[in-house]
Structure 1
């Protein structure tokens, strides 16, 4: 009997079981990235409808702005987290690189504001959100964009990483989910 050890892959997050969430898959034989789909319908508002557009208009027309105007605008101008309903498991010396689809900026006015996302191996099954993967997206189009459940929103590539010599080993364990490793 031959034992096969699964080293990396995808699972559906428990709150989405039975909701026909699509597991990531490669579109072609030589594709590096696994296409991720939205877990549910999601409306991405246009950045031009937000308060920061008021700041730009007022600056252009040389109107006075208050500190509160800038603070409100900055608070609103942030990416939205589009859920995938998927989590990824991998080896401790690997990570999942999240990247935008090459067609998103050109055809749909969507960008990943941080350029890429990094999903660490210890994000899988964390207490906070079970390791659900989200794509941070901004819609720079002039109209809101509705992403339909099952539409491809980004891609993920499993990658190994190297450690520096004489590294002082981190002692902390992950406490939480999205964005928690920087605490």
Structure 2
């Protein structure tokens, strides 16, 4: 990808993209604007449309695989705000994680949270791919954990205000 995306060369992340099949003319991974945080993933489906009934989910291939060239970085697949808010189509598992060593096709599982059938068209933007740092934890077994003001208080423990 040669798009500069508004950043200095040293701030850019090299990602190799393998296009697996091209079912529409513009099957390219790209940022919508110079300041977009995510790359648009598009529906790479064989048929012109894919119907997702209300409350159902469906795997939608993105037609590409990636290789992240910097250690400590992973890809994260987020819902598109407009698709989720307007049409009720969200990434089924909340956020999809593309591990740095995964080389297979990116599949976006879409969940139809609306009360009506939704239709995806071939080439439609369905999700966004964002690259973020990840940290491998060094786990240490402990008999006790450090004290905090919250302690073991669970969900909703800090109140509504």
* TM-score bin (small chain): 0.5 to 0.7
CA distance in 1, matches of 2:139, 2:35: 37
C-alpha offsets along residues 2-24 of structure 1, whole Å, 9 cap, x if unaligned? xxxx83142211xx146546122
RMSD over aligned Cα, in angstroms? Answer: 2.2
Report if aligned partners of 1:12, 1:21 keep a CA contact under 8 Å in 2.
Answer: no
Structure 2, unpaired ranges of 5+? 1-12, 141-161
State whether structure 2 residue 145 is matched by structure 1 residue 140.
no
Deviation at 1:166, TM superposition (A): 6.4
CA distance in 1, matches of 2:24, 2:111: 26
CA distance in 1, matches of 2:28, 2:89: 22
Report if aligned partners of 1:83, 1:132 keep a CA contact under 8 Å in 2.
Answer: yes
CA distance in 1, matches of 2:85, 2:73: 31
CA distance in 2, matches of 1:166, 1:100: 31
Deviation at 1:133, TM superposition (A): 0.6
Report if aligned partners of 1:21, 1:39 keep a CA contact under 8 Å in 2.
Answer: no
* SS of the residue 1:123 aligns to: coil
What is the correspondence of 1:46-85 to structure 2 with a 5 Å cutoff? 46-47=54-55, 79-85=57-63
Higher helix share goes to which structure?
1
Report if aligned partners of 2:74, 2:99 keep a CA contact under 8 Å in 1.
Answer: yes
CA distance in 1, matches of 2:43, 2:32: 16
CA distance in 2, matches of 1:109, 1:164: 35
Structure 1, unpaired ranges of 5+? 1-5, 48-76, 125-130, 168-183
Q: Counterpart of 1:88? A: 66
CA distance in 2, matches of 1:153, 1:25: 13
Which 4+ runs in 1 deviate beyond 4 A? none
Aligned residues: 124
